[in-house]
Amino acid sequence: MKIIIETIDHCSQRDPDAIGDWHIEKDNCIVVRVSKMDDPISELAVAIHELQEAFLCWRKGVSEEEVNLFDFRWAENFKNKLTQSDEPGGEPDAPYHWEHQASNQTENTFVLSCGMSLKEHDRNCENPI
């Protein structure tokens, strides 16, 4: 399996509200793009989240199209204050809800194992470069 992880300028993200994004190419190559942040710990933590989520979705057969469609509809609902969570994967009816939650756990464990607080990580995630 081929995996590509890169940090990019936040303004280059497909979704301007996301600091991490994944897609799977035709040859099953997983491509993860993470917004640049002040600390590489946060960049890698988000990359690990996205990679795990992409892999779990791929294994379960949740397509990128399903995810993108859900995220698109969620963004509309979020604008109208009709969402339960502050991120689409946090919604219980998201097709990748379980995968997102499991990836959050891994992300947080990585951050804490690097000696960074989750508060500092959240701050980095809120201020991508």
- The nearer residue to Zn ion, 41 or 89, going by C-beta atoms, is 89
Burial (Cβ within 10 Å: 0-12, 13-18, ≥19) of residue 100: buried
Q: Which helix (H) or strand (E) holds 105?
A: helix 97-113
Length of the chain: 129
- The nearer residue to Zn ion, 100 or 121, going by C-beta atoms, is 100
From the list 53, 71, 91, 107, which residue makes contact with Zn ion (rule: CB under 5 A)?
53
Asked if 89 is part of the footprint of Zn ion (rule: CB under 5 A), the reply reads: yes
CB 36 within 8 A of CB 129: yes
CB 20 within 8 A of CB 33: yes
Identity of the amino acid at 75: A
CB of 40 to Zn ion, least distance (A): 20
- The nearer residue to Zn ion, 27 or 93, going by C-beta atoms, is 93
- The nearer residue to Zn ion, 27 or 101, going by C-beta atoms, is 101
CB of 112 to Zn ion, least distance (A): 18
Stretch of residues binding Zn ion (CB under 5 A), selected from 11-19, 57-65, 96-104, 111-119: 96-104
Tell me the CB-side half-sphere exposure of residue 47, using CA atoms within 13 A.
20
Interface residues toward Zn ion, by CB under 5 A: 53, 89, 100
